[in-house]
Amino acid sequence: MDPTRRISRVIDPKIRHVGFFAPQSQPGPSESPVMIPLPDITRAIQVPVGDFYHRRSDYDVVRVGSYDPSDSMSSRNGDGEFSEDSGIWKLPMSLPSNGLDKLAARNFPFGAKKSPHDEKGDSPAQMSMKSVLNPSKEKTTKAERRALQEAQRAAKAAGKVSKAERKMSSAAATGKEASVQIGEVVKNSRQKKDVLMASFEKTIGNRPPEKDRKKDVPPSRMQFDDKSRVDKAKKHSVVKQVEARNRVDYFMHLPQYERGTQHPDLETKFFQLNHIHPAVYKVGLQYLAGDITGGNSRCIAMLKAFQKAIEDYSAPLERTVNRDLIAKINSYVSFLIECRPLSVSMGNAIRFLKAHVTKLPPEITVSEAKASISSNIDRFITEKIVLADRTIVKHAVKKIRDGDVLLTYGSSSVVEMILLQAHELGIRFRVVVVDSRPKLEGQALIRRLVRNGVSCTYTHINAISYIMHEITRVFLGAASVLSNGTVYSRVGTASVAMVAHELRVPVMICCEAYKFHERVQLDSICCNELGDPRAITMVPGEVDIQYLDDSVKNNGLQHLNLLYDATPSDYISVIITDYGMIPASSVPVILREYGGEYLFT
């Protein structure tokens, strides 16, 4: 229509958070604060064609759940005008994410603290105000009027946030007058603008999410460099987390907290946390303290805790049983996530449990429901974990021959069972346990193996390329196997697998099928877990060699203690699961045939 509009259209994508980010600094009456819903993608394709019908329908949808005063205000302009404007405002932000958004996100993580030197990152409000102030335009277009109102409303809000907005909306009726006011406001100072931005945030952030839309949205992983969501999550959180001081740059999207503070804090809160069942609470504390580790044992502990919680459950009067139960489980799960991020095995178990609970018939009595859930949890544990392990052992033992030298890394419960079983069968073999700092999990494994009379060698991962020459088989456990065959496991597994592959030693991954996941992961960065950063430099029992502590304090030295890594499928000879021995390329087949429905019934 005119240059201003086009300018804003070009610049908008740069300043908007797209993809993982909620549209925080978005002044238009457009989106729910949750995230970009799925249907928007289709709309983003349709809108540029100039289909007015679509834009209008958008607007209607938005307004239903919208309490933003600006909505009621601007609707006076007449429907036709407004819908066009809103279409333009929201068009860029529903575009698929591009490379820019990440940059924008980093430079401009939160409206209120926006760095003033960031030139690209001008907020839409600023842009619109600039356009208003631009002397070259005499005639006010629809877009300008719209922008004017926006800016004006913001200015008011900045001045007197708490004061009545009724007044403001009446003032908005006269456009020319407002433009003068805004001119003053903008000339004042940069700081004022920032305050302005903050007020935008407030008005938009308060809007409740639209429920029906939320359902369409696939659950996204929490990105911890998305400040607003982190803050929101913090509000509801039970565990008080203090963010680590020197956070590692590349891993800002993962939670990085100070260690050691949460535990005492949570202990004192025990009597305040009424909604968390003590069994769940106990498991949470154990996760936090690191007393329960390993995919299987964590999963079993969680399921047992849920089982206890459900046994003690008493039904509410007005809600149906399964809905209330789901809500309960959700609150437990979010508590556990706060203690430690879920493993894939736990995630799958929770999916199973929830699927079962939702499938309960509505007329079922509480005691029946409890019994059914409890028995199903037991069934899951026996079938998917205990019996699966037994099958894996049965298959794997066949691959061990007399005179073999086996290598294992870290401590995997299944691998331990395999080694002990093979020893019991009288196969003569030797085991090399490779271990790594800081967890040194292999020490516990080697103690148990030696106690059972298995002949063992213990070494650290530094010696892997030396020791690999004498190895005939490598047995590794896994936290999860992803659908492209990538094995997600204890950090260091990838190096072991790589060296073994290089020297043509078969690498066998032992993993129960319930740990398979549809996700595809190409590296270990995008999705991982960070351990205690201090664990890297600390040597237990040696206080006088903590050389690096000073650097952490003074020089901002960042410690990266990754817990997992991704082993590419090329390095893997075979995956041994409860469905037999399969190549890594067949993981999607198992997921297709036995995932989803089969697993969750």
Partner 1 sequence: MWWRSASFILDKPDKDDAVSSPESRLITSPPLSMADTLQNPNPNNISAYYQTRAAHHGVVTSDWLAQAQAAAEKEEVTSESSLDSGKAFSVIDEFNNWRKQPDLAEAVAAIRALAKVISSSEATTMMELEIELKTASDSLKAWDTTSISLTAGCDLFMRYVTRTSALEYEDFNSAKSRLLERAEKFGEISYKARRIIAMLSQDFIVDGCTILVHGFSRVVLEVLKAAAESRKLFRVFCTEGRPDRTGLRLSNELAKLDVPVKLLLDSAVAYSMDEIDMVFVGADGVVESGGIINMMGTYQIALVAKSMNKPVYVAAESYKFARLYPLDQKDMVPALRPIDFGVPIPSKVEVETSARDYTPPQYLTLLFTDLGVLTPSVVSDELIQLYL
Residues that bind partner 1 (CB under 8 A): 399, 401, 473, 506, 508, 573-574, 579-583, 585-586, 589-590, 593-594
CB of 584 to partner 1, least distance (A): 9
Q: Which is nearer to partner 1, 309 or 508 (CB)?
A: 508
Q: Which is nearer to partner 1, 546 or 585 (CB)?
A: 585
Q: Which is nearer to partner 1, 104 or 508 (CB)?
A: 508
Using DSSP's 3-state secondary structure scheme, residue 516 falls into strand
Cα–Cα distance for residue pair 184/81, rounded to 1 Å? 27
Sorted by sequence, the CB contacts under 8 Å of residue 177 that are 6+ apart come out as 171
Please return the burial class of 377, using the count of CB atoms within 10 Å of its CB with bins 0-12, 13-18 and 19+: buried
Q: Which is nearer to partner 1, 343 or 577 (CB)?
A: 577
CB of 577 to partner 1, least distance (A): 10
CB of 14 to partner 1, least distance (A): 43
Contact between 417 and 393 (Cβ < 8 Å): yes
Q: Which is nearer to partner 1, 458 or 594 (CB)?
A: 594
Q: What are the distances in angstroms from CA 387 to CA 303, 352, 589?
A: 16, 17, 21
CB of 394 to partner 1, least distance (A): 13
Which residue type does 289 have?
A
Q: Which is nearer to partner 1, 39 or 506 (CB)?
A: 506
Cα end-to-end distance, the chain, whole Å: 57
Which pair of tokens denotes residue 65? 């759940």
Integer-rounded Cα radius of gyration of the chain? 29
CB of 590 to partner 1, least distance (A): 7
Q: Which is nearer to partner 1, 252 or 581 (CB)?
A: 581
Q: Which is nearer to partner 1, 89 or 429 (CB)?
A: 429
CB of 551 to partner 1, least distance (A): 46
- The backbone torsions φ and ψ at residue 110, rounded to the nearest 5 degrees and listed phi first, read -150, 130
CB of 290 to partner 1, least distance (A): 35
CB of 53 to partner 1, least distance (A): 46
Q: Which is nearer to partner 1, 88 or 587 (CB)?
A: 587
Q: Which is nearer to partner 1, 104 or 505 (CB)?
A: 505
Q: What are the distances in angstroms from CA 139 to CA 91, 118, 132, 415?
A: 25, 31, 10, 77
Neighbours of 421 (CB within 10 A): 16
If you search the block for the tokens 């008005």, which residue do you land on? 203
Contact between 344 and 488 (Cβ < 8 Å): yes
CB of 359 to partner 1, least distance (A): 24
**SS in 3 state form for 114-129?**
CCCCCCCCCCHHHHHH
Contact between 336 and 342 (Cβ < 8 Å): yes
Q: Which is nearer to partner 1, 252 or 589 (CB)?
A: 589
- Strand spans (E) along 353-479: 404-409, 429-435, 455-460, 473-477
Cα–Cα distance for residue pair 599/516, rounded to 1 Å? 11
Q: Which is nearer to partner 1, 497 or 590 (CB)?
A: 590
Please return the burial class of 259, using the count of CB atoms within 10 Å of its CB with bins 0-12, 13-18 and 19+: middle
CB of 409 to partner 1, least distance (A): 18
Contact between 456 and 472 (Cβ < 8 Å): no
CA angle 490, 495, 500 (to 5 degrees): 115
Q: Which is nearer to partner 1, 556 or 583 (CB)?
A: 583
CB of 581 to partner 1, least distance (A): 4
Q: Which DSSP string do the residues of 292-345 spell out, in sequence order?
A: S-SHHHHHHHHHHHHHHHHHT----SSS-HHHHHHHHHHHHHHHHHHHSPPPHH
CA angle 567, 515, 496 (to 5 degrees): 25
CB of 598 to partner 1, least distance (A): 11
CB of 580 to partner 1, least distance (A): 7
Sorted by sequence, the CB contacts under 8 Å of residue 526 that are 6+ apart come out as 253
Cα–Cα distance for residue pair 70/128, rounded to 1 Å? 15
